[in-house]
A and B are shown apart, each in its own frame.
Chain A
């Protein structure tokens, strides 16, 4: 099956610094990538949808200037958490779709990135 690789798998950073998380589709072209955040004991919350070559679409309540998303190519999307604070500590997950209009489209998930801000 399709593989989505997310890097790094975990990161610890100091408060006030920025952290970049990469999401790559290894064997398919991902027209659309999704970024989720998972709070402890909660479900995944969709943060934004990124389409290659255009601006990301953010969900309500997600700060665009804090969570910068760049989908520069059909195989790579990045999420940058700017000026991170402890409350940004969470599990971030990306998923990628092949962009098919098929009704049976399914998303492929990266393994996630555990961000801890100290």
Chain B
């Protein structure tokens, strides 16, 4: 079945550092890909998405590019802030289904 693999955390960075969280997927067909963020004590929020190969999703300085050839959707940010500390989940949906398949999540801590 479909699956998502994320780099294991936790990840600890200093403010203004460059962030990469790796995400690869296994799926038949052409899934849509998502990054969700869960801030401490809150529910999941959609951070960005991409629906076809070579699409780039971006939001709040975060970016991820849908790479079909490497089945990847790595999350990047050029300069992280303390407020970016959260758990980040990579996910996919298949075709017209709204059923999400999640990775295990990567906890990011950004220190001042």
Asked whether A106 and B34 contact (CB < 8 A) given A6-B43, A32-B98, A97-B98, the answer is yes
Task: Check B60 for interface membership: any CB of A closer than 8 A.
Answer: no
Asked whether A103 and B32 contact (CB < 8 A) given A43-B89, A109-B44, the answer is yes
Q: Which of B98, B102, B103, B107 contacts A106 (CB 8 A)?
A: B98
Interface size of A as a range: 20 to 34
Task: Check B69 for interface membership: any CB of A closer than 8 A.
Answer: no
Give the shortest distance, in Å, between B24 (CB) and chain A (any CB).
Answer: 15
Q: Which residues of B contact A46 (CB under 8 A)?
A: 99-100
Give A86-118 interface residues, CB cut-off 8 Å to B: 93, 95, 97, 99-112
Interface residues of A (CB under 8 A from B): 6, 32, 34, 41-44, 46, 49, 93, 95, 97, 99-112
B4's closest neighbor in chain A, by CB?
A43
Asked whether A34 and B42 contact (CB < 8 A) given A44-B89, A105-B93, the answer is no
Interface size of B as a range: 20 to 34
Asked whether A44 and B102 contact (CB < 8 A) given A93-B43, A103-B51, A112-B43, the answer is yes
Bound: A108/B43 CA distance, A: 10
The 0/1 profile, CB within 8 Å of A marked 1, for residues 93-108 of chain B is: 1011111101111010
Bound: A103/B95 CA distance, A: 5
Bound: A46/B103 CA distance, A: 12
6 pairs from A and B in contact (CB 8 Å cutoff): A41-B107, A93-B43, A103-B51, A104-B32, A106-B34, A112-B43
Asked whether A105 and B100 contact (CB < 8 A) given A6-B43, A43-B105, A110-B43, the answer is no
